[in-house]
Amino acid sequence: MTLYRITGSLDGLVAPVMVAAFDGWIDAASAASNAANHLAGDATTVATFDPDALFDFRSRRPVLDVIDGVLRHLAWPELAVRRLHADGRDLLILHGPEPDFRWRELGADLQRFAADAGVVQWVTLGAIPAATPHTRPTPVFATASREGLLRPGTPQGPDGLLRVPAAGISVLEMSVIEGGIPSVGFYAQVPPYVGGPYAPATIALLEAMGEHLGITLPLGGLPEEATTQRAALDAAVAAQDDTRAMVEQLESQEGDDDEAMPSGDELASEIERYLRGQDE
């Protein structure tokens, strides 16, 4: 008995790529989950997963609509795979909340699902807080399960050892790799002072993945959102001396090299600082 149920056709897929992103861990500013949700908006659902088996509803509660004093609708957390044909490529988009339970079982099920669907590559999307300012292009670094998967010139890293609490999506990725499917990951670096959705990072992830796959992915209204958010951040920074000083320091650290690869220690330090800020 698997945790998933096939709800749509997988016929006719040609060398599909599975794209995976969860909200929660390694999803700073919701950049990765928003990228997956953006792609899945016009896609067809082909598989759903048992929410009762995967989620703690006390920590991730369903949303209740109460209209004129009457309980009308419950929206439950949903993990699903959706099918999208984009610029000549078939994509299977795995997205939703990060599951609370049964990661290893889910990994084994996804390994089986990917094999049955003929998936040729897995792509993880993520986003992490990093020492980068919003006044520079969003840096994206990549990971790969073996040499030769990434295009020449793609920044791969981070340098050295990065030891952090594992994300559920990373557990699933490793399970798929063990099943013989090659994988890559793209991780946007988000300014540490960004507190809400950050469209520039979402765009950077979509562009990095599109370049990797040799396709152009639709951006929709994301560029306009990015422009609006840049103006709001500029105004907020100008009004706060401490934030302005932080931005100036980050700009001076970056210098002229927008593609500088952070070390594992640097990223771990930023993640720890981010988590402290969440606790506060």
Given this model, what pLDDT does residue 64 score? 97
Strands 17-23 and 121-129 come out as parallel
pLDDT band at 27 (very low <50, low <70, confident <90, very high): very high
**What does the mean pLDDT of the chain come to?**
91
> To the nearest whole percent, how much of the chain has pLDDT over 90?
78
* Alpha-carbon span 194 to 12, nearest angstrom: 42
Q: Give the tens place of pLDDT for each residue, 46-95.
A: 999 999 999 999 999 999 999 999 999 999 999 999 999 999 999 999 99
- Number of helical (H) and strand (E) elements in the chain, helices listed first: 8, 10
252 in helix, strand or coil?
helix
pLDDT band at 265 (very low <50, low <70, confident <90, very high): low
Q: Give the tens place of pLDDT for each residue, 241-250.
A: 888 888 888 8
Whether the predicted pLDDT of 140 surpasses 90: yes
Which architecture does CATH list for 4-279?
3-Layer(aba) Sandwich (3.40)
* Alpha-carbon span 9 to 40, nearest angstrom: 16
Question: Which stretches within 31-78 are classed as H helix?
Answer: 31-40, 51-54
153 in helix, strand or coil?
coil
Place of tokens 């990994």: 107
Q: What is the CA radius of gyration of the chain?
A: 19
Given this model, what pLDDT does residue 261 score? 64
Given this model, what pLDDT does residue 159 score? 82
The residue ranges of every structural domain in the chain are 4-279
- Nearest 5°: the CA angle 202, 205, 211 is 140
Whether the predicted pLDDT of 278 surpasses 60: no
Weakest-pLDDT range from 70-79, 155-164, 201-210: 155-164
* Alpha-carbon span 247 to 254, nearest angstrom: 11
Amino acid, single-letter form, for residue 69: G
Given this model, what pLDDT does residue 267 score? 66
Given this model, what pLDDT does residue 162 score? 82
Stretch 256-270: mean pLDDT, rounded?
Answer: 60
Paired tokens of 14: 């040609």
Whether the predicted pLDDT of 268 surpasses 70: no
Paired tokens of 80: 């699903």
pLDDT band at 42 (very low <50, low <70, confident <90, very high): confident
